[in-house]
């Protein structure tokens, strides 16, 4: 029963979520919270793990959530549920694009879709930033000290500087960020 529920939940998410993996994170979190499958902290940890493992963050998150809820077959059900709608939509879209690729309307539509996708990615990035850079315990009323988690900001600033200015590869920065996290959050 829980396997079908995992498949169904992630199928719906895969069917109605647009904008890529990061845009799905808030939707996945809401679905998980409604069912009490994971605590917020467990979910944030899975997001971090999904980030540092190869592949799409949404697929990794679905796999990890499913595995956490119902083991191997739970991970499989959640992953298939998330991917199946996109697979069908992409197949149909590919067929239509091949047929109508030279159409002026199709080319114009893509010009308007790009800014919308940029907005979706921006919102997802803001969500992840709030999740990682703000101390959730400090959000209680009248407790503003410690609102910003300085350790997260240090890791963020060092990573941004190293990738932008020093041109250090993102994969290397993930490893260094893990080490910084071990040192700063012990």
Secondary structure (H, E, C), the chain: CHHHHHHHHHHHHHHHCCCCHHHHHHHHHHHHHHHCCCCHHHHHHHHHHHHHCCCCHHHHHHHHHHHHHHHHHHHHHHHHHHHHHHHHHHHHHHHHHHHHCCCHHHHHHHHHHHHHHHHHHHHHHHHHHHHHHECHHHHCCCCCCCCECHHHHHHHHHHHHHHHCCCCCHHHHHHHHHHHHHHHHC
* Per-residue pLDDT in tens (0 to 9) along the chain, 186 residues: 999 999 999 999 999 887 677 888 889 999 999 999 999 889 988 888 888 888 888 999 999 999 999 999 999 999 999 999 989 998 998 999 899 989 998 888 888 888 988 888 888 788 778 777 776 654 444 444 455 777 888 888 999 999 999 999 988 998 888 888 888 777
Q: What is the pTM of this model?
A: 0.64
């Amino acid at each position: 029963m829980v396997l079908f529920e995992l498949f169904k939940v992630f199928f719906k998410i895969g069917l109605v979520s647009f904008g890529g993996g990061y845009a799905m994170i808030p939707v996945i979190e809401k679905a998980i919270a409604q069912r009490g499958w994971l605590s917020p902290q467990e979910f944030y940890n899975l997001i971090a793990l999904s980030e540092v493992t190869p592949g799409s963050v949404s697929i990794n998150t679905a796999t990890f959530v499913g595995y956490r809820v119902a083991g191997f077959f739970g991970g499989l059900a959640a992953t298939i549920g998330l991917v199946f709608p996109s697979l069908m939509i992409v197949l149909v879209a590919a067929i239509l694009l091949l047929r109508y690729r030279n159409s002026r309307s199709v080319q114009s539509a893509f010009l308007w879709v790009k800014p919308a996708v940029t907005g979706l990615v921006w919102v997802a990035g803001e969500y992840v930033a709030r999740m990682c850079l703000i101390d959730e315990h400090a959000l209680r009323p009248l407790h503003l000290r410690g609102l910003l988690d300085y350790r997260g900001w240090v890791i963020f600033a060092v990573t941004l500087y190293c990738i932008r200015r020093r041109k250090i590869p993102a994969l290397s920065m993930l490893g260094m960020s893990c080490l910084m996290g071990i040192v700063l959050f012990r």
